[in-house]
Amino acid sequence: MKTTNKSKYTLPWDSCEWPHQERRCGKDRRRDTKAQFKYFLVNGRRESARREEDKTRYFLFDRYNQKMFAAITAILMLSIFDALLTLMLIERGSSELNPVMAYFLEYGPLPFIIAKYLLTSIGVVILLIFKNVLINKINMYTHSLFICVIFTFSTVIVWELFLLFTSR
């Protein structure tokens, strides 16, 4: 019987009695934490880390639950509503305080709305990719930031509505 270099003990697959031949070779597929592109296109498989030791590692997931979809939809809709309210306020004499959005506003309302939507979408995608990362300094997972973004957009919209109804 053969023995392996790492151990003094004989492994079952090293003996003649073991009917199966060792077929594993190459890199362990579980070590790769990046989602495969093909799973984004057709039937993704991974929703969460299954093993306890994997929960402390960084993973990209390619399937998301309905709550995440609702949060993303809410953020994007609130972003568009914010852009429309901002345009209404600017017509009444207000100015855009955000220098990035003020730059796009110089090109007109449509580029402003498109830029607002695209920049928000990029931010949402980044949050979605890193949704299961633990932020150590504040001991909070990144997916909790979706609620913070919704709250922030909602607060801005309430403020804009207040300005619209109180200004003449």
pLDDT tens, position by position, 82-125: 999 999 999 998 899 999 999 999 999 999 999 999 999 999 99
Q: Estimate the crossing angle of helix 109-129 against helix 66-91, to 10 degrees.
A: 150
| Rounded Cα gap, residues 42 and 125, in angstroms | 19
Model confidence pLDDT, tens digit, residues 15-37: 555 566 666 666 666 565 555 55
DSSP state of 67: H
* Model confidence pLDDT, tens digit, residues 128-139: 888 777 778 888
Give the pLDDT of residue 133. 76
Q: How far apart are CA 65 and CA 53, in angstroms?
A: 22
Are 142 and 131 contacting, i.e. CB atoms less than 8 angstroms apart? yes
Based on the number of CB atoms within 10 Å of its own CB, is 46 exposed (0-12), middle (13-18) or buried (19 or more)?
A: middle
For 105, other C-beta atoms within 10 Å of its C-beta total: 21
